[in-house]
A and B are shown apart, each in its own frame.
Chain A
Amino acid sequence: MTATDGVFLVSAAVALVGALLAVGLRNIFHNILGFALAMLGVAGVFACLGSDFLAAVFVLVYVGAVAIAMVYAVMLSHPLDQPHRPRNGWKIAGAALLATVVAATLWSVLRLAPWPVLVPGGDNGAALTGTRFLSDYVLAFELVSVLLVVAMMGAVMVARRQRPGRGTW
């Protein structure tokens, strides 16, 4: 077992534990912290797979931006003030059963598929990725930036407080 394998095992364990915390805990703030932990683990998995740049992007975007935005949304909508409502045990059991069945089906398909396991290799550095983005995939790159601008403006429009006496816009 090499050092990379050890780091991979730790990262995978962190990702799965973080995901369980993000889903299982009752307090929504703890869920967000578990989500950040899971994304750190996923970034570690990417780093072990050789995608250092992607690991950095996941830490920056998910831990740095998405989790903080979720904290803001929670503070603006204070769900912690809501009274605790009893849960329906059958719904929880059904959700667990359906998720298990779907995951097991996916796993059986993935396991039986004949993946061409060749020698790992090839350049997966950030330089080649950037070159590809600005040559072959420049349209997708520009479309994602347009999408982000539209999403930002849309978020401002949707979350804006409507003043009385003014129209819809």
Chain B
Amino acid sequence: MSLSFVLGVATALFGIGLYGLLQRRSLVAMLISLELMLASISINVIALTTLTGQEPSLGQVVVLIFVGVAAAEVAIALSLFVAIHRAAHDIDVEHLSELKG
């Protein structure tokens, strides 16, 4: 389990998440992709603090703050999706274009 292998896994996860964020049209699917990208960043932080002999507990503090912020983001985003669906009866981003000039 070398550092570069862990970083490679995290990069692949980030790429998959970015592809989903760009390609999917459902808001929930885009949120899932965003969470995947956040998880890959968390893997990077933990790998770089653990495997390089820095301070591992510092990385855990940072990632726990990530998790808290991500949970808040998910709560707000999902409630927004429900509100958007109630107003527009659709959560496909290509159809939510009332503000388009």
Interface residues of A (CB under 8 A from B): 4-5, 8, 12, 15-16, 19-20, 22-23, 28, 31-32, 35, 38-39, 42, 45-46, 48-51, 53-54, 57-58, 61-62, 65-66, 69-70, 72-74, 76-77, 79, 82, 85, 91-92, 94-96, 98-100, 102-103, 106-107, 110-111, 115-125, 128-129, 132-133, 137, 140, 144-145, 147-148, 150-152, 154-156, 158-159, 161
Give how many B residues have a beta carbon under 8 Å from the other chain's beta carbons. 70
The CA of A32 and the CA of B16, in the complex, are separated in Å by 15
How many pairs of residues, A versus B, come closer than 8 Å at their CB atoms? Answer: 231
Q: Is the CB of B36 within 8 A of A22?
A: yes
The CA of A110 and the CA of B3, in the complex, are separated in Å by 10
Q: Which residue of B lies closest to A154 (CB)?
A: B76
B90 — which chain A residues lie within 8 A by C-beta? Answer: 82
B contact patch SS: helix
Other-chain contact of B79, A16, A65, A159 (Cβ < 8 Å) = A159
Other-chain contact of A148, B17, B36, B51, B72 (Cβ < 8 Å) = B72
Q: Is the CB of A48 within 8 A of B1?
A: yes
Q: Restricting to B36-83, which residues have a CB under 8 Å from any CB of A? A: 36, 39, 42-43, 46-48, 50-61, 63-65, 67-76, 78-83
